[in-house]
Structure 1
Amino acid sequence: MVGISHVHYVLGDYKPLTEIPEMDTSKENLAKFRINGVRQYCGSDKTMYQLALETATATLEKSGLDRSSVGAVFFATGNHHCKELHEEDFAGRLLDELGLGSAFFYGVFMQYCASVAAALQLAGQFAEANGTNVLLVSADKILDYGPIVRIIPGVIGLHSDGAVSCIVTGRNPQFTMTPFQTLQDSSSWRLMYGQEKKGLQDSFLTNSRLVISRVLEANNLPKESIHHVVTNNFNFTISKNLSVYWEIPYEKFFSLNIPRTAHCPAGDVFINLLDMKTAGIISRGDSILTFFPAPHSWMGTLLTKN
């Protein structure tokens, strides 16, 4: 079965909310973030290419793979407007510097933080179909326009700079991965831009629950057998809502980084997974319910530690 190995990530420097450009530093505004557990974000002076190259190099070095055994690189980003992607040969340069000159390069842009999930799904299919190793890389650089984002008009969120990488392979992966369960509902964009916050939250909870149910049913796994839940760095309140709505104890939702760090679209799931592994939280045989959401895309899979 295909899976992932040698996860690595690179984040920017930890910075307090008060250092965010254009941030309203009034007590009232800062309280809105802190109530939800967000204390800091990660900003980097490195370019998106530099972040991607650094994490990809580390993954390849940790894997010890012969470069010729890597048949493809799947690259994901939510920052599709980044000048580097348009003004420089991002793909050719990355492949050359990684020593992967004969590998295929595929760029994936789906929607925000679902991009890396789509890339992982496609990389798994490619690895399985071709019997090869695949390098997955995802990077996001938010400081082109500042860490403050407004996906929903009137609602402020925070993003962090970072990049993640791993090897997707069918050859003794560290974590096996089941086929993805997915759901698309593009009609929710009307809720987003109509500022229907309650409707958007209801849509998110309902659709996420449906995807989670599909993952469990496909793997014949009762909720009681789930050891961990790994997802994006939502604010504290949303995580608690998911726990209640999915009927899974909140203690199983991983939250190692305290104070909480603002969401990194490049791949919170991979960041949190590696933090769990490093901290010794994951044991052999553990079932890890893994969920990647975006405003109108929901994707889930089950990882098992080998």
Structure 2
Amino acid sequence: MTNDLLAAPSAPEVHLHSFAHALGDPVDIALLDDPGVSGRLDALTAEGLRHCRVSERSAPHLAAASARAALAAADGLVPGAVVLATESRAPSPTQILWETLRSVPLPRTPGLVVSGNGCGNFAPALRAARGVLLTERVPGVLLTFADRLTTPSRYMPDGDTVMSDSAASCLVTAGPPGRPSFRVLAVATSVQADLVPEERVLKGARTIIKAVREALGRINSSIPEPERGFDWFITGNYSATTRRFLTTAAQMPEEKAYSPHHATHGHCYSADQLITLATLEADSRLTHGRRVLLLASSARSWSLTALERVDPTPT
């Protein structure tokens, strides 16, 4: 199954900008009272993981903190809608949305929740934000990702990593915002919802490679000048082995894989990509016209997002 976001010839450009995030406190994973992590501690450390983020604040408090910072960076832009992505269930997604809107505060702003894709909610949430932006002609959409651990252990076997409490936000607007931004070139998703656990053990690597490359093929068939390739590759904060595998699956050279926070942040659910993108934005090597490929994945879905850096006065 596929579900791709391709820009229609007459559709306005969609841009991401005004990034912000809110993280829990850094905690050495060796100090966690967590049998799931302690049982894998040596392996996790060998894979480059050192800290995760632990917060006493709830998911809506983290979401509101990142949203307020993003809106402050947007110089007064008032969004016409909010898209919130979360996998947290305490409180419920509905309550997370209401509490976030009240706390930002945007109590009269329509919102919707995106969920069900595990740590791969980045692309579905972006698709939802783009749809609202272009169909309802609002001045902008606030896109927020927020999760706080609700499972007994922070260890996540898929990706061999440690989960963190976190939130990240940005603004999604039509047309260049007059500041550095990322233009959305395309999004492509591959899904295999009928991949049962026993098949994942036997077919996991082959399934992922096939799914990612099918999505990459659709990305390259829809963006201008696909022969230019991509200058940077971003995925989740997984173990070093997992990140290398996903880089290979996306046919990207290892030296273009960008993961500055895996040791310090742990895996921030679907916020990983936005947090890393914000860091890359501040990198002087990322100049006008450079392209970035993001991979957001879960156990049964794999989404690629192609972005292009846009500076208001290219040099």
1:279 match: 283
How far is the alpha carbon of 1:220 from its aligned partner? 4.1
Aligned: 1:41 with 2:41: no
> Superposed, which structure 2 residues align to 1:238-249 within 5 Å?
238-249=242-253
Which residue, out of 95, 98, 106, partners 1:100?
A: 106
Q: In the superposition, relative to structure 1, how do residues 198 and 220 fare at CA in structure 2: closer, same or farther (>3 Å)?
A: farther
1:11 match: 23
Q: In the superposition, relative to structure 1, how do residues 304 and 156 fare at CA in structure 2: closer, same or farther (>3 Å)?
A: closer
How far is the alpha carbon of 1:170 from its aligned partner? 0.5
The letter of the residue matching 1:62 is: A
Question: Identity over the aligned pairs, expressed in percent?
Answer: 22
- 2:270 counterpart SS class: coil
How far is the alpha carbon of 1:23 from its aligned partner? 3.2
Contact 1:74 1:107 in 2 (8 A): yes
For 1:274 and 1:257, how far apart are their aligned partners in 2? 12
- 2:236 counterpart SS class: coil
- 2:293 counterpart SS class: strand
- 2:50 counterpart SS class: strand
Q: Deviations over 1:155-203 (max 9, x none)?
A: 9642111001010110424111023211111122x1xx32743411221
Aligned: 1:83 with 2:96: no
How far is the alpha carbon of 1:107 from its aligned partner? 0.8
For 2:153 and 2:238, how far apart are their aligned partners in 1? 19
For 1:262 and 1:95, how far apart are their aligned partners in 2? 27
- 1:129 counterpart SS class: helix
1:187 match: 194
The letter of the residue matching 2:289 is: G
Q: Deviations over 1:18-46 (max 9, x none)?
A: 122223677x8322112322122111111
> Superposed, which structure 2 residues align to 1:158-169 within 5 Å?
158-169=162-173
> Superposed, which structure 2 residues align to 1:226-237 within 5 Å?
226-237=230-241
Q: Deviations over 1:81-103 (max 9, x none)?
A: 222546xx443333233242332
Which residue, out of 198, 203, 209, partners 1:199?
A: 203
Contact 1:41 1:160 in 2 (8 A): yes
Which residue, out of 134, 138, 144, partners 1:137?
A: 144
1:290 match: 294
> Superposed, which structure 2 residues align to 1:257-268 within 5 Å?
257=261, 259=263, 261-268=265-272
Q: In the superposition, relative to structure 1, how do residues 51 and 177 fare at CA in structure 2: closer, same or farther (>3 Å)?
A: same
Q: Deviations over 1:59-101 (max 9, x none)?
A: 011102343xx1110111022x222546xx4433332332423
Superposition TM-score, scaled by structure 2 size: 0.85
- 1:291 counterpart SS class: strand
Q: Where does structure 1 lack aligned partners over 5 or more consecutive residues?
A: none
Contact 1:204 1:295 in 2 (8 A): no
For 1:166 and 1:102, how far apart are their aligned partners in 2? 19
For 1:199 and 1:179, how far apart are their aligned partners in 2? 28
- 1:179 counterpart SS class: strand
- 1:117 counterpart SS class: helix
Q: In the superposition, relative to structure 1, how do residues 258 and 291 fare at CA in structure 2: closer, same or farther (>3 Å)?
A: closer
1:21 match: 33
Contact 2:51 2:266 in 1 (8 A): yes
> What is the CA RMSD across the aligned residues, in angstroms?
2.3
Q: Where does structure 2 lack aligned partners over 5 or more consecutive residues?
A: 1-12, 311-315
- 1:266 counterpart SS class: helix
Q: In the superposition, relative to structure 1, how do residues 246 and 99 fare at CA in structure 2: closer, same or farther (>3 Å)?
A: closer
The letter of the residue matching 2:209 is: L
